[in-house]
Structures are given as structure tokens and as C-alpha cells.
């Protein structure tokens, strides 16, 4: 829900999020949509093309994917299956010289990559923003900053110089360099009733960053049942360092300089060189990143 007019306005309406994701680079684009009409969707699609360029091929959900959840997604079900929407999409895609395809009927797993992005955005929005009702401008600001956070995660190292590694992120494919943000005071632990409106929005972003970055690092450390041994960290490995106090869009990385074995001949502690010096840390605080083959 969003609020029309000023912050004290009582006029509320439902808003939507259009999520675009590149199936190659995993770069995400979040576009707010004010209402569920064909015109609003085409306008959101035009804003996406204006900033990200035209794609050769686009895929999207099929209306039948929403049939099993009519209580909560009935409006989307009706919107996607309407003839006006389908004809408008086909006409627009033909005029822009790209192909629009729907995934097979009743097969939401065909869109697993964008479903994962939707889950991430919705989960953190619901748990952090909660019952706060933003204006449309505030809604756009929150989505844009969440988009930057999701596009900042490192994929692998692209620098051949291990003394000064450069991490490749989805942001590199969008602007040619890592995404950055302005430094802000830490409001994550400040009660909401002591914050102004802009400070409250920054708190939302900071809390979402801390939760999502921690979840992402945990995914890199997953070991299912420990049935297969992983190789030990060794000198020269590029690692991400799990740090709960990093600012949004900043990932703390370093180079392993020395590995310390335990009595079982497994590495338990690693000395890591960062821009601030050399530190020793346990391996459960480190995530191995591969180097680019190019």
C-alpha cells in the first residue's frame, strides 16, 4: 500500500513492483507500478528499456501460475489472462523488435531465477518496512536502493593482481564499475519514533542490507550433510569476510596469506590481508570466491 499526496494524506492505494532480471548476469531492475493496468505496465516497460536498453528476448510469467492463489493474486490472474494485455504486449514488442514469450502453463519453476529475486525483495520489504505506508516517491527510493544492494554482490575476482583484487558484480554490467552509495549515519538500532521521515527510509535500507548480505554469505558457506569434503583454503585465495558492520554496497574482501592447520590436518584459521592490514579469522567467517578464467 502507498499513500497519495503528503505523508498525512488518508488516500491509500495498492502499488506493484515489476521485477526484471538478466538471465546471464543476474542483474536486477525493480520498477514501481502505480496500478494494475496495461498502460501502467507498458509505461514501466518503457522506463526499463530507456535505462537498460532493448533486449532481444523477454520471458514472463503465465496467467495460470496465479490461478492457485486466487485469494491473494486474483487481480494479477485477471490482468495477465486478459486479451487486451496480451495484444498490447505483443504489439509493443513487435514495434520495438524484440520477442516476448510466456513460460509454459502451470510451470512457475521455469522462472526460478526471477522467482528467487521476487522472494528476496518481498521477504525483506515485509519484515522491515512492515506496516509503514510510504508515499510513491518514498516507495521508488526504497526500491532503487534495494536494487543497488542486490546488484552489488560479488560474482568472482577479475583482477590478475592478487595484491589489489577487483570483484566483478552485476553492477559492472550496468554501469561499467562497482555500484556506490553516499555514507550515512547508522540508524539501524535507533527507534523509529526518534527518526525523521528520510532517516526512517535510510534505516529500512540499512536493516535490509544487513539481513540480505548475511543471508547471501550464508548461502556461499552452505555444506549439505557434509558428505563430500571441500578443499582447504590456501595461500593466494580470494575470500569474502563476514562482517556485520559493513555499510551498504560494501563487501569486505581479502587475500589469504597463511593457513593454520588443526590436529586433523584441516584448515581452521586463516591469516587474511585486507586494505587495513593482516588479520587472523576462523574459516566460518570466510567465503571463497573463484577467479575469472579470462
Q: What is the pTM of this model?
A: 0.83
Instruction: Choose the final residue of a domain: 130, 150, 170.
Output: 150
Same domain, 8 and 118: yes
Question: Domain for residue 232, yes or no?
Answer: no
Same domain, 250 and 146: no
Question: Domain for residue 200, yes or no?
Answer: no
Same domain, 17 and 116: yes
Question: Domain for residue 250, yes or no?
Answer: yes
How would you classify residue 66: left for phi > 0, otherwise alpha for psi between -120 and 50, otherwise beta?
Answer: alpha
- Angle among Cα 203, 135, 208 to the nearest 5 degrees reads 25
Write down the pLDDT at residue 223. Answer: 67
Q: Where are the alpha helices (DSSP H) in 13-160?
A: 38-52, 70-81, 83-95, 112-124, 136-150
Same domain, 146 and 243: no
Question: Domain for residue 88, yes or no?
Answer: yes
Same domain, 7 and 114: yes
Question: Domain for residue 174, yes or no?
Answer: no
C-alpha–C-alpha distance, residues 144 and 248, integer Å: 13
Question: Domain for residue 90, yes or no?
Answer: yes
Question: Domain for residue 112, yes or no?
Answer: yes
Same domain, 6 and 145: yes
Burial label, 136 (beta-carbon count in 10 A; 0-12, 13-18, 19+): middle
Write down the pLDDT at residue 21. Answer: 93
Write down the pLDDT at residue 241. Answer: 87
Question: Domain for residue 202, yes or no?
Answer: no
Write down the pLDDT at residue 19. Answer: 92
H or E stretch covering 7 = none
> In which domain, by residue range, is 144 found?
2-150
Same domain, 242 and 127: no
Q: In tens digits, what is the pLDDT along the chain, a chain of 294 residues? A: 888 877 777 888 888 899 999 988 889 999 999 888 888 888 999 999 999 888 888 888 876 666 655 566 777 777 877 888 888 888 888 888 888 888 877 677 788 888 888 888 988 888 888 888 888 889 999 999 999 999 998 888 776 565 666 788 999 989 888 888 877 888 988 988 898 888 998 999 999 999 898 888 888 877 666 667 778 888 888 888 888 788 888 888 888 888 888 888 888 899 988 877 888 888 888 888 876 655
Same domain, 133 and 248: no
Same domain, 31 and 145: yes
**Cα dist from 105 to 76, 77, 90, 118, whole Å:** 15, 13, 18, 19
What total of structural domains would you count in the chain?
A: 2
Instruction: Choose the final residue of a domain: 150, 172, 205.
Output: 150
Cβ 233 vs Cβ 255: under 8 Å: no
Instruction: Choose the final residue of a domain: 132, 150, 168.
Output: 150
Write down the pLDDT at residue 34. Answer: 87
Q: Which CATH number do you get for residue 133?
A: 3.30.420.10
Same domain, 145 and 12: yes
Same domain, 31 and 146: yes
Strand residue runs (E) in 206-266? 238-241, 253-261
The DSSP symbol for 18 reads E
Amino acid at each position: 500500500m502507498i499513500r497519495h499526496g503528503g505523508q498525512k494524506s488518508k488516500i491509500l492505494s495498492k502499488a506493484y513492483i515489476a521485477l526484471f532480471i538478466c538471465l546471464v548476469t543476474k542483474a536486477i531492475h525493480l520498477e514501481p507500478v502505480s496500478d494494475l493496468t496495461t498502460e501502467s505496465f507498458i509505461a514501466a516497460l518503457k522506463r526499463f528499456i530507456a535505462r537498460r536498453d532493448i533486449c532481444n528476448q523477454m520471458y514472463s510469467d503465465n496467467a495460470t501460475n496465479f490461478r492457485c492463489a486466487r485469494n491473494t493474486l486474483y487481480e494479477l490472474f485477471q490482468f495477465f489472462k486478459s486479451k487486451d494485455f496480451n495484444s498490447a504486449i505483443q504489439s509493443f514488442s513487435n514495434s520495438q523488435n524484440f520477442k516476448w514469450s510466456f513460460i509454459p502453463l502451470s510451470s512457475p519453476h521455469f522462472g526460478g531465477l526471477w522467482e528467487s529475486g521476487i522472494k528476496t525483495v518481498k521477504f525483506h520489504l515485509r519484515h522491515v518496512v512492515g506496516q509503514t505506508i510510504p508515499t510513491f516517491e518514498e516507495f521508488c527510493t526504497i526500491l532503487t536502493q534495494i536494487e543497488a544492494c542486490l546488484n552489488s554482490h560479488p560474482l568472482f575476482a577479475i583482477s590478475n593482481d592478487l595484491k589489489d583484487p577487483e570483484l566483478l558484480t552485476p553492477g559492472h554490467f550496468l554501469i561499467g564499475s562497482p555500484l556506490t552509495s553516499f555514507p550515512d549515519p547508522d540508524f539501524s538500532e535507533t527507534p523509529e519514533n526518534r527518526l525523521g521521515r528520510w532517516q526512517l527510509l535510510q534505516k529500512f535500507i540499512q536493516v535490509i542490507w544487513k539481513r540480505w548480505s548475511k543471508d547471501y554469505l550464508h548461502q556461499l558457506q552452505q555444506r549439505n550433510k557434509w558428505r563430500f569434503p571441500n578443499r582447504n583454503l590456501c595461500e593466494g585465495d580470494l575470500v569474502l569476510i563476514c562482517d556485520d558492520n559493513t555499510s551498504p554496497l560494501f563487501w569486505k574482501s581479502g587475500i589469504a596469506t597463511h593457513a593454520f592447520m588443526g590436529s586433523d590436518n584441516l584448515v581452521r584459521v586463516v591469516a587474511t590481508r585486507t586494505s587495513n592490514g593482516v588479520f587472523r579469522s576462523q574459516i566460518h567467517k570466510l567465503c571463497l570466491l573463484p577467479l575469472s578464467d579470462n
